[in-house]
């Protein structure tokens, strides 16, 4: 394992022409200190966990010092925000420190979020607040625990600096890791500027470092688009299966690698509602839970359009259909697994929709309803009360349960074997908003960061029964004040 000074930095993106980025150093915090450190992510760059105990650690990851070999830049991109094209966005508060290659040959970008002003900051201050960094830190690791492709989070640092949003808040920085931070909007920037040569340079770069097998295709750019559509369809299917909403699926928040990127006003659904909107700023519900698959389709059309100077029109038109086919197939597989079904039958969609309708009508908790289904007994004489009692209309549930029982019998499902598989599929713990909020309040009001670490540990294995953490599986109390999250989150 390595010390901080032994991390071998490179920055291949910084070697692209100057139009792709701005060279800029982070703006440090006064008196920085470590809020939380994630040893599971440190392993990805072969960093020894004891390095977090050094005073220099906070200096390196709050901008006070540069790690040897790093070449910090702010990346240019544009994007469609709520359907409207914005010509220049870019890293307005995040700086790519560089890339670290681990002993396994994997390369990881280290992105410092909240690192200060860049030329892409527009009217912002280049900072992040403790509240938003805790939310991203915890949710990216929660998504990883659920097996969903995502950026990762190494640590949070803070310092003696106040940041102003709706009110004054503590500033903080997050170190985010990903193989690449190239976005759909990275390509859109050069397409809409008609800088097609730069568009080709970017596509060649992405293929070289992230999709090398595309070079074997008849048209490498068509293969790149095909792979992006495939990865995006798989990712959004996983979002839908766990009941998670991103909140701001703008094209500048869409990773070219199909990673969940930029955690702002996200939310795990509690009471099942297809029209769930997690973003208080989304006044028309563009990014509601039920709209996410269609927005994925829209975004693939956008990236296909951006790559069109390098493609035949048939490739451009095919990409959204590839996305839709991949999404539909993967979602069907994931949902069948949640019901403990091994085979695919023609009526599975109706069975699935029947259960979702029951949850919607009863305002049942999405995660807990599926978790309770793990214990369904085909020979039960008491109507499976732990599941049944979650629904208002018990008779309607009984009708559905009879169909479910028939379906299980059709593939000779055995309760005990099915439960083992479902216990590994249907999580018990998710990052509910009130859990994240409690961790934030402890950090902001008392400088107590223990709840962050507790959640980090819990969410790393969300399907395991952890008896001492039973209360963390419960929804927010019905009398509690709703937690509102918006784009500033």
| Residue in 247, 194, 259, 289 with CA at minimum distance from that of residue 82 | 247
Q: Catalytic: 252? A: yes
| Residue in 448, 485, 476, 272 with CA at minimum distance from that of residue 373 | 272
Query: Any alpha helices (H) in 146-219, and if so which ranges?
Result: 184-192, 196-210
| Residue tagged active-site, from 252, 262, 282, 365 | 252
> CA–CA separation, 284 vs 13, rounded Å?
37
> CA–CA separation, 284 vs 274, rounded Å?
14
- Cβ neighbours for 372, distance < 8 A, ≥ 6 positions apart: 386, 387, 390
> CA–CA separation, 426 vs 437, rounded Å?
24
- Cβ neighbours for 189, distance < 8 A, ≥ 6 positions apart: 76, 77, 78, 87, 88
Q: Are 146 and 431 in contact (CB under 8 A)?
A: no
- Torsion sign (Cα): 33, 38, 44, 50: positive
Place of tokens 């994931």: 334
Catalytic machinery residues: 252
């Amino acid at each position: 394992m390595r010390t901080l000074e032994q991390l071998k930095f490179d920055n291949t993106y910084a070697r692209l022409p100057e139009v792709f980025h701005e060279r800029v150093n982070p703006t440090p915090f006064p008196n920085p200190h470590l809020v939380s450190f994630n040893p599971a992510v440190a392993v990805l760059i072969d960093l020894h966990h004891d390095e977090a105990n050094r005073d220099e650690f906070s200096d390196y990851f709050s901008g006070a010092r540069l790690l040897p070999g790093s070449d910090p830049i702010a990346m240019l991109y544009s994007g469609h925000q709520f359907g409207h094209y914005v010509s220049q966005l870019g890293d307005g508060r995040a700086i790519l420190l560089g890339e670290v290659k681990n002993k396994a040959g994997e390369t990881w970008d280290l992105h410092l979020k909240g690192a200060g002003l860049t030329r892409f900051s527009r009217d912002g201050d280049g900072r992040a607040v403790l509240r938003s960094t805790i939310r991203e830190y915890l949710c990216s690791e929660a998504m990883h625990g659920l097996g969903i492709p995502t950026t990762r989070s190494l640590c949070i640092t803070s310092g003696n600096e106040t940041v102003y949003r709706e009110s004054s808040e503590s500033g903080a920085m997050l170190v985010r890791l990903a193989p690449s931070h190239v976005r759909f909007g990275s390509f859109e920037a050069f397409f809409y500027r008609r800088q097609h040569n730069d568009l080709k340079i970017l596509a060649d770069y992405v293929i070289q470092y992230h999709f090398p097998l595309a070079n074997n295709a008849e048209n490498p750019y068509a293969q790149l688009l095909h792979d992006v559509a495939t990865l995006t369809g798989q990712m959004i299917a996983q979002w839908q299966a766990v009941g998670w909403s991103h909140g701001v699926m703008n094209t500048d928040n869409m990773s070219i690698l199909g990673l969940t990127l930029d955690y702002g006003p996200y939310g795990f659904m509690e009471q099942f509602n297809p029209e769930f909107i997690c973003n208080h700023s989304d006044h028309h519900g563009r990014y509601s839970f039920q709209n996410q698959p269609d927005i994925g389709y829209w975004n693939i059309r956008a990236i296909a359009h951006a790559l069109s100077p390098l493609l035949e029109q048939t490739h451009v038109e095919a990409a959204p259909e590839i996305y839709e086919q991949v999404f539909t197939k993967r979602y069907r597989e994931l949902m069948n697994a949640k019901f403990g079904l091994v085979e695919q039958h023609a009526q599975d969609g109706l069975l699935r929709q029947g259960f979702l309708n029951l949850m919607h009508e009863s305002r049942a908790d999405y995660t807990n309803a599926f978790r309770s289904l793990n214990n369904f007994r085909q020979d039960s004489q008491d109507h499976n009360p732990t599941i049944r009692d979650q629904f208002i209309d018990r008779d309607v549930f009984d009708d559905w349960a009879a169909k479910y029982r028939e379906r299980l019998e059709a593939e000779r499902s055995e309760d005990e074997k099915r439960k083992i598989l479902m216990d590994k599929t249907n999580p018990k713990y998710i990052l509910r908003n009130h859990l994240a909020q409690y961790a934030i309040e402890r950090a902001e009001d008392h400088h107590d960061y223990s709840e962050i670490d507790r959640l980090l540990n819990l969410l790393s294995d969300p399907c395991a029964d952890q008896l001492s953490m039973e209360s963390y599986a419960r929804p927010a109390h019905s009398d509690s004040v709703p937690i509102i999250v918006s784009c500033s989150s």
